[in-house]
Amino acid sequence: MTDGKIAKIKEMSREEVDDFAIRTAMENELLRKAIYGAKSERHVPPPPPEQMRLELGEVAAAEEPPQTELVSYERKKPARRKPHPGRHALPEHLPRKVVRIEPDEDTTGMKLIGEEVTEALDYTPAKFVVIRYVRPKYARPEGEGVVCAPMPSRPLDKAIAEASLLALILCDKYLDHLPLYRQIQRFKRLGITIADSTINGWIGKVCQLLEPLYQAHRKMVLTRDYLQVDETTFKVLDRDKRGKAHLGYQWVYHSPVERLVLFEYHPRRSKAPPARSLQNYGGYLQTDGYAAYEQFHNKTGIVMLGCMAHARRKFFEAGEDHPHVKHALSVFRKLYAIERKVREYQLSHQQRQAIRMKEAKPLWEKFQKWMIQEFVQHVPSHPVRKAIEYTLPRWKQLGGYILNGKLEIDNNLIENQIRPVALGRKNYLFAGSHSAAQRASMIYSLLSTAKLHQIEPFEWLKSVIKAIPDHPINRIEGLLPQNWDK
């Protein structure tokens, strides 16, 4: 500790010194847990005390050896053990290559009585195929001109890439987090050299094709009556910032009921991006405690919801061993146990609401009274008080899910949608420009929605890239993943 800090402590009152000591101890404990402690917040209850007790009793003096006797009995022989079901059958849609193996012995004159069939799974490496469009030209008689069939519509005019290759590049990068330079290396191993600038050009042109589809998707998402909102960082190379990347943000909107996801890139993390996107919004809006969302609290037509997982984390970080923290965490465990039950039985929205009103509402109201009582028991810098200061003002928003069965208890579903972006950041590190970051938003939105609807993303994207050049713009919604007819 420096001399300046020691002098400052000497000038403090007794109450300030106690407050400083508590705050320092708690910060040290949080630092220790961050470095050495478990990252999971999952609660594993300790075994009951009777399992931990070892009853030794009093050590007796030398005892006489126990007497023995012969006991005989009859028992039923156990039933034959159920045979193992074996490995899962291989999917029927996979093509079969039959390899017939005849015995070495001459089978002339023998009668075929059956076959032993064994299936094994093999893999054929990806390969390029050149599609050659041949259009015969015919001369009309009497010099009346030449007849030649027109070229069919292709995704990118004058480009060598077909829809399958374009869909593969996009899915590899934004779905499987494979940077473009690694894809280029893989192509070279297959004997094809494609320049980085060429692939980037392809991606830009495909996104121009998909722009109307993305705008239709955006309009559909932002008109849902229940949205979860969150944001995550996204590094971007900026010509105005030499030597370092610009830190932009992907704002994410998720509709849990309709299973829709929307990504929007903005260079800054301010209140302006959500204000612009949600200026005409009406319905339930579930967010974390970020200040940018406070502008919607008094807006007519919007019902704000909180994230229970964030409130729980505040108490978890205050220290699990504290008796008041233990009580708070037990309340959260009971609330989440109710949610696990309603999910396990796949109840309707009305049934979910009825169970929540009966079981969760009394629990949450009792917890509010407990927080009010405990608030004055701790100094302002105490982590328990800070957790209460976060939770108590948001009590109504956090418990709002109880009143409607279609609402979720927390924002974990949208955080699951953000996770692929975090994985991508670790691989391709940054976007090459702000335009590239917005293109990433477009592809993340469409592919994430396809996954939520259990549609194979590559097959969907390939068919859309192939069809969209000739698709009527007034029926563009038919190509969205949730409306796609394979």
What was the pLDDT predicted at 380? Answer: 79
Question: How confident is the chain (486 residues) per 10-residue block, as mean pLDDT?
Answer: 62 66 67 64 58 50 67 69 73 90 90 90 87 93 90 90 95 93 93 93 95 96 96 87 85 95 92 92 92 90 94 86 87 95 91 95 95 84 87 94 95 90 84 91 96 94 94 93 84
> Residue 304: which of 323, 283, 320, 322 has the closest Cα?
283
- Strand pairing report for 283-286 and 226-236: parallel
SS (H, E, C) 231-280: EEEEEECCCCCCCCCEEEEEEEEEECCCCEEEEEEECCCCCHHHHHHCCC
What was the pLDDT predicted at 307? Answer: 94
What was the pLDDT predicted at 157? Answer: 87
What was the pLDDT predicted at 366? Answer: 95
Per the confidence metrics, is the pTM higher than 0.85?
Answer: no
What was the pLDDT predicted at 59? Answer: 46
What was the pLDDT predicted at 144? Answer: 86
CA angle 200, 420, 37 (to 5 degrees): 135
> Residue 450: which of 425, 406, 481 has the closest Cα?
481
Cβ partners under 8 Å of residue 443, min gap 6? 170, 173, 174, 207, 210
Residue 143: other Cβ atoms inside 10 A:
7
What was the pLDDT predicted at 27? Answer: 67
Q: Calculate the alpha carbon distances from 436 to 240, 249, 441, 450, 483 in Å.
A: 16, 13, 9, 21, 27
Break the chain into its structural domains and give their ranges.
Answer: 308-410
Q: Calculate the alpha carbon distances from 245 to 109, 241, 427 in Å.
A: 79, 7, 15
